[in-house]
Structure 1
Amino acid sequence: MSVVKFEEVLNDLVDYFLLGDPYLLMDFKNRHQLPDDLISEFTTSTAGDQVVEDGVMIPMARIENYPYTIYFNMSSAIPELLKETSRLQIKQEGYRMQVISGEVYLYTIPYIRNFTPATLVTLTSSRITKISLPNGWYKVDILGGETLQHTGLEPTFEFLITPVANKPGFSANIMYQFTITASEY
């Protein structure tokens, strides 16, 4: 497996990133007969906790409005944020993620405000912050901080993604705030 890097990833002026397979999210929505407005549903019912605990979506709250460097790390090499030139600020472990469409996206809250089949097509055809992964279960740990890029220290998130044979346990803090302090912004 490898490491995939994206630069200048924005949060669309909303302080959240969402990680997951959006086709699985549509299946979850349909299976539980949820409304199109998933934001309201996830913040006013137990469906918000369930979607995370079931491995459908990983919400990342309190994302400052910076351009981010994003790493999807599926290798056994030292993570970028654990290297000497980086400044690790966040380490969150215990997430699980299921993939059913062969792709995982890092996307933003506006997509789930009116999550319809048309929105799903827009998301999957316009978001470039995505990777291909075999269908199955994954253990996900999230690192956050700053990495040294050609422009200096840049706010960075790194997703450590490990395939597992069976549905892994879940021990993540759903309410964690992923705020990075950027030294150059």
Structure 2
Amino acid sequence: MTIEKNEANKRLIEKINKVEENYTKNFSNTQKILLTTDGSITAILDVLYGKITLSTLEQHFDKADCEISKLINVNEGAQINYREVIMHKDDENLIYALSYIPLERLTDEICCDLVRADIPIGRILKNYRIESRREVNKIYIEKPNERLKDLFNTKEDMLAREYVIIHKNNVLMWIKEVFPVSKFTNI
């Protein structure tokens, strides 16, 4: 297990180094931690800012299309929860997140918390003592879409990562988190 963990850490370091090289910018230690952690982003932000808040931008049930079914390893047409949120401290938007969650892998209680309240996924997993692990699949830079430009009040490039939360050897959630390249540079 330790050897596997060391290999996974090496791959994450290689991913972040490659993004830095291609972008010709060195990222802050905080940015690197947020992009490579296999733990809860919410917990890290709580340490940095005090308890943060999450606001749901959009959430609905949908059917997995071909692309989504591959991301979360379900059949096309499976019921999913589509969720877009912004994590913030007071009026400062910190991180935007998009998630696809296959409903067939959630208990009714978890599903209720997910759709009923603005609770970060990390807190939901902790509240229900769900043993899980995160696997970071991609770290990259992208141009902001209109929603991101509006949320962060900038047109600058965005740092992004995509990962899955694994529970009982199944993808429990696919998540993409995004923030501007200038965010978290002074912490």
TM norm structure 2:
0.26
Higher relative contact order (CA 8 A, sep 6+): 1
Larger helix share, 1 or 2: 2
Larger strand share, 1 or 2: 1
